[in-house]
Amino acid sequence: MTLVFCLFTGLEMIVSDFQCYQNNVQHHTEEISFQRLIVRRGQNFSIILYFKNRGFMLDMDKIIFITETGESSPKEGTKKWGELRRETGGDQIPWIALIKSNGANFLEVSLCAPPMAAIGHYVLKVHIESFQGPVLAYQLGEFILLFNPWCPADEVYLESEPQRQEYVMNDHGFIYQGNKNWIRPCPWNYGQFEENIINICLKLLDKSLNSQVDPAMDCALRGSSVYISRVVSAMINSNDDNGVLNGKWSEGFDDGTSPSEWNGSVAILKKWYATGGQPVKYGQCWVFAAVMCTVMRCLGIPTRVITNFDSGHDTDGNLIIDEYFDNTGRILENKKKDTVWNFHVWNECWMSRKDLPPGYGGWQLLDATPQETSNGVYCCGPASVRAIKEGEVELKYDTAFAFSMVNADCVSWLVYGGKEQKLHRYTNSVGNFISTKSIQSDDRDDITENYKYQEGSPMERERYMKALQKLQPRGYPEHPRASSQPAGPLSTRGGGPLGHNSPTPPQAVSLKLKLTQPAYLGLDINFVLQTFNLAPQFKALKVNLSAQSMLHDGSPLNVFWQDTAFITLMPSEGMCVQGQIQFNSTQQAFIKHQRHRAGWLLSISRGEIVGFGASEVLGEAIVGQLLTMQVIFQNPLWEEVGDCVLTVEGSGLFKKQYKIIIGILKPQSKASVTIKTVPFKSGQRQIQANLKSDRFKDIKGYRNVNVSPGL
């Protein structure tokens, strides 16, 4: 008899391949990097293990994969593992590891994180146990796990592919500014896939107060989009921590960057990161919202930027915005600090809301601008947009405050002789033309109907009363709102009520003030005062007119023009009075306080595109080949403009932000600057440009460029 002994050696690994290119393409992260593994939860990704002495034998070898995130300790929530299987069993473990192919000296494995796994940096390790062999442990490497809007089981799942492309993948867009009569798109470079932005976004989570106080709990909660969105909302502003941006709404930005000068989020986030987490100076609402959009899209949560014109800021929670005027029509500093912003910008993020009753998932309002605290921290939301519309103000988070931004009442008061007299209650002045960029288009979408029923309709009135009744148990004062009738018949909505020498407003007279054309820098302002006598008696009126600067948050500044009109009206007679504010009266006010009034002056045209070493014009932008752009600008003034600086950037086109010193522009002159760059990413791209000077501030321009892949 012959005895044959089979000696099995332990399975030894020599190298692993994370297949970054293939995995990242399948997980829609190739825009971030091809050099490192970045995957999304709830979706398989493949790695290959190469062995030294033999192949993997299912009956003899046992391989356990271990993933670790957060603190390097065995605390619960930081370490997960999955045992290698040939196929999925009935009892699925949190992380799944399946054999994809088994070769002579390699093993291809398919791994999958559960759709509720915590996002962030991970370390992947493997333990190999062989029959009669030692247990060997290897650290394979690091990867990043993100939310997955392509996975139906993920709470941020978005069914529409065009919406996913717009709200996750698009790295540029528009933020709407101005006022309801003059809506202007401001181009913005979100740049969520630019170099190192993913690391900055994850560092932002690590710097949060929650992470500093309890790192293990913070790590365990990072699978929740609700939790992540509140953390990011708090960290974009710096009021409670060393967040990304310092907010400033008063004058004077010499020690930093004016909020209106920024073109994009990338420069802001990189500056915050480079200084070790010191807040960047300065931001206002659109900057806070834009940076938050960058972070949320980078992490994989569908996000869009929303502008609300005539946005209420109700400081005492009674759904009333009080405005005070003197008898010249001048807006007075609000005693309660309630204001109506000519526009306010926030975010909407898409997610399910298992913490709310059914039907309140979908778009959620989040506001990173530090207006009021939420649970002691300057953040706002997520508040269900549907809950706002339905008046369900008791639902989490900050829904009552969000409701007041789009649907509060405005009450105008005349301050005269130390007394206050109510002039009018406006029920439809707050929350107009709520806007966002259209899907895969440069057009503007009006989404006001998502936030409230049509103004003046029974449904809108019912929702307001429901919200008010829900707030009264909290101790807020009652505010009867039976109808939209004014306290008096004076109708003067525009820049505020026109003034009078008596505390009693004129009875039965309609006054409306309208611009005859848009106001542009360098031109006079022409307007018409429309009057109509609604009474059966003769009326002799003295109307005091005034114009003053206002910051976009509704804070009044100095009056720069005043005039008086004397008007006599027969019963049922109407009259139009023409008026003009000359440019020399408005010049300093426009230059210091009004932004983007002259945005039409700046245009960017694509010039010739020249290949390396070639002299022919190719006619299209191509990755890796020289692209020439020309920026054209014009001085509309009859005087010299100095200290002109042009700032240009664009994801996929420029590696960094460029500043070009132009110097002086002569009166009524045109000038141009030629810019050359080499695109490094294909697809639809956008160049954003900003021109500032000592005479007018922050004129915006943009140009879309379609970049073809290189050879």
Whether residue 409 is annotated as binding a ligand: the answer is yes
Q: Measure the CA–CA gap between 482 and 464, rounded to whole angstroms.
A: 11
Please, is 12 exposed, middle or buried when counting C-beta atoms within 10 Å of its C-beta (0-12, 13-18, 19+)? middle
Q: Which of 241, 367, 398, 698 is catalytic?
A: 367
Q: Catalytic site residue 367? A: yes
Q: Measure the CA–CA gap between 648 and 296, rounded to whole angstroms.
A: 24
Neighbours of 357 (CB within 10 A): 10
Cβ contact 448:174 at 8 Å: no
Q: Which of 274, 123, 253 is nearest to 203 (CA)?
A: 274
Q: Catalytic site residue 219? A: no
Q: What is the DSSP code (8-state) at residue 457?
A: S
Residue with tokens 């110097």: 663
Q: Measure the CA–CA gap between 37 and 123, rounded to whole angstroms.
A: 11
Q: Catalytic site residue 172? A: no
Cβ contact 41:114 at 8 Å: yes
Q: Which of 382, 320, 332 is nearest to 355 (CA)?
A: 382
Q: Measure the CA–CA gap between 339 and 531, rounded to whole angstroms.
A: 28
Type of residue found at 513: L
Q: What is the DSSP code (8-state) at residue 229?
A: H
Helix/strand/coil for 286: helix
Instruction: Report helix angle 266-274 to 285-299, nearest 10.
Output: 80
Show the tokens assigned to 31.
């825009």
Q: Which of 394, 393, 396, 406 is nearest to 361 (CA)?
A: 396
Cα distances (Å, whole numbers) of residue 285 to 175, 247, 260: 11, 8, 10
| DSSP string for 518-570 | ---TTS-EEEEEEEEE-SSS-EEEEEEEEEEEE-TTS-EEEEEEEEEEEEEE-
Q: Work out the angle at residue 693's Cα, subtended by the Cα atoms of residues 691 and 695, and round it to the nearest 5 degrees.
A: 125
Show the tokens assigned to 298.
């980078």
Q: How many residues does the chain have?
A: 711
Q: Which of 20, 55, 58, 53 is nearest to 39 (CA)?
A: 20
Whether residue 129 is annotated as binding a ligand: the answer is no
Cα distances (Å, whole numbers) of residue 687 to 262, 607, 611, 684: 13, 13, 20, 10
Q: Which of 585, 536, 525, 598 is nearest to 558 (CA)?
A: 585
Q: How far from the centroid of its chain's Cα atoms is residue 190's Cα?
A: 9
Q: Which of 186, 201, 285, 380 is catalytic?
A: 285
Whether residue 460 is annotated as binding a ligand: the answer is yes
Q: How far from the centroid of its chain's Cα atoms is residue 67's Cα?
A: 33
Q: What are the backbone dihedrals phi and psi of residue 344, each rounded to the nearest 5 degrees, phi first? A: -140, 145
Q: Which of 28, 344, 424, 552 is catalytic?
A: 344
Q: Measure the CA–CA gap between 498 and 329, rounded to whole angstroms.
A: 5
Q: What is the widest separation between alpha-carbon atoms in the chain?
A: 132
Neighbours of 95 (CB within 10 A): 17
What string of H, E and C letters represents the secondary structure of 158-220? CCCHHHHHHHHHCCEEEEEEEECCEEEEEEEECCCCCCCHHHHHHHHHHCCHHHHHCHHHHHH
Q: Measure the CA–CA gap between 306 and 293, rounded to whole angstroms.
A: 10
Q: What is the DSSP code (8-state) at residue 259?
A: G
Q: What are the backbone dihedrals phi and psi of residue 241, each rounded to the nearest 5 degrees, phi first? A: -160, -175
List, by residue number, the catalytic residues. 285, 344, 367
Detail the residues annotated as belonging to a binding site for Ca(2+). Answer: 407, 409, 455, 460
Binding-site members are: 407, 409, 455, 460
